[in-house]
Structure 1
Amino acid sequence: MSESSSHTNATHPLSEDSSRSTEKNSTSAQRTRRRRRRRPSGTPTPQPTRNQKSQNRPQRRILSQEEKAEREAKRLQYQAERAEELARSPYIAMTIHSSGIHPSTAHIVAIDALLLSPTGEIVDEYYTVINPVGDPGPQHLHGLTLVEIAEGSRFEQVLKPLGRLIDGRTLIVNNAPLSWGFIHNEARCTMAKAARANRSRNNRNRSRRRHRVGHVPKPKGIIDTLSIARRQAKFLPDIRIRTVARALGLETAAATATVERARQPAADVAREETTLVADMFFHAQGQFPDAIAITTPDTLRADAFGLQRSAIRVDAIEASAQYENPGIYSPDTGLIAGMEVVVAPEITLDPDIIIEAIVAAELFYSEKVTRQTSLVVCNITDPLTGKAMHASRKGIPLISDTDFLELVKTVQPGTTIAPAEAS
Structure 2
Amino acid sequence: MSETIEVVAEGGVTSARGFVAGAVRARMREDWDKLDVALLYSETPCTAAGVYTQCNVVAAPVVITRKHLADGKARAVIANSGCANAATGERGTRDAVEMAQLAAARLGLDPHEVVVASTGVIGIFLPMERMRHAIEAVELSAGGGLAFAQGIMTTDTRPKQSAVRFGEYTLGGACKGAGMIHPNMATMLAYVTTDAPVAAPFLSRTLKDAVAVSFNMIDVDSDTSTNDMLVVLANGVAGGEEIAEGHPMASAFASALTHVCTELAKAIVADAEGGSKVIEATVVGAASAEDARLAAREVVRSLAVKTAVYGHDPNWGRVLAAVGNSGCRMEEAKTGLWLVDRDGHELCLLENGSPQPLAAGAAKPHFEALEVRFRVDLGLGKEEATAWGSDLTEEYVRLNSLYTT
Q: Same fold (TM over 0.5)?
A: no
Instruction: Point out the structure with max Rg over C-alpha.
Output: 1
**Which interval holds the TM-score relative to the shorter structure?**
under 0.3
Higher strand share: 2
Instruction: Report 1 or 2 for greater relative contact order, CA contacts < 8 Å, sequence distance ≥ 6.
Output: 2
Higher helix share: 1
